A and B are shown apart, each in its own frame.
Chain A
Amino acid sequence: MQGQIPFGVADYFWEEALQRQELIANLLATFRAWGYGDVTPPAFEYAASLTAQASASLQAEMYRFLDRDGSTLALRPEFTTPIARLAGTRLHDWPMPQRFCYGGSVFRYVDPQAGRQREFWQAGVELIGAPSPDADAEVLALTAEAMKVAGLTDYRIVLGQIRYFGGLLAALELTPEQADSLRWAIERKSEPALADFLRETPLRTGQRQAVEALPGLSGGDIQQVIDQAESHCLNTEMHRALVNLRGVVDALSGYGVLGSVVLDLTEIRSLGYYTGISFEALAPESGFSIGSGGRYDDLVGHFGPAQPAVGVALGVERLLLARQRQSGQFASLQPTPPHALVISHQNPAALAQVQRWRAEGYRLQMEVNGREMADILVYAKQAGIAQVLVWEDDRFSAFRRQSDGSFESTSGEISFDE
Chain B
Amino acid sequence: MSSTPVFAAPSESSVESRPPLLFALPKGRIAEESLALLEKAGLTGPLDTNSRKLVLANTDNSIGFVMAKPWDVPTYVEYGAADVGICGLDVLRESGRRVHEPLRLPFGHCRLSVAGPKDRPDTPLRYASQPRIATKYPRLAQEFFRKRGVNAEVIGLSGSVELGPVLGLADLIVDIVETGSTLRANGLVEIRTILDVQAVLIINRAAYQLKSEQIQGIIERIRAVI
Contacts and interface: CB of A to CB of B under 8 A. Distances in A.
B79 A113 contact: yes
A191 B100 CA distance: 10
Interface residues of B, number: 31
B101 A287 contact: no
B182 interface: no
Contacts of A114: 79
Given A330-B5, A332-B4, A337-B3, A188 B210 contact: no
Given A114-B79, A329-B9, A330-B7, A19 B210 contact: no
Contact of A287 (B6, B10, B78): B78
B204 interface: yes
Given A262-B212, A330-B9, 20 more contacts: A15-B1, A113-B79, A156-B209, A156-B210, A188-B100, A188-B101, A189-B203, A190-B101, A192-B103, A284-B211, A285-B80, A286-B80, A287-B77, A287-B79, A287-B81, A287-B206, A327-B9, A330-B6, A333-B7, A337-B3
A219 interface: yes
A383 B104 CA distance: 58
A19 B1 contact: yes
Contacts of B104: 192
B177 to A, nearest CB: 21
A158 B209 contact: yes
Nearest to B6: A332
A220 B100 CA distance: 19
B80 A288 contact: yes
B205 interface: yes
B46 interface: no
Contacts, number: 83
B209 A189 contact: no
Interface in A240-260: none
A336 interface: yes
Given A188-B101, A287-B81, A328 B9 contact: yes
B50 interface: no
A287 B204 contact: yes
A289 interface: yes
B218 interface: no
Contact of A282 (B77, B81, B209, B223): B209
B180 interface: no
Interface in B1-41: 1-7, 9-10
Contact of B103 (A15, A191, A331): A191
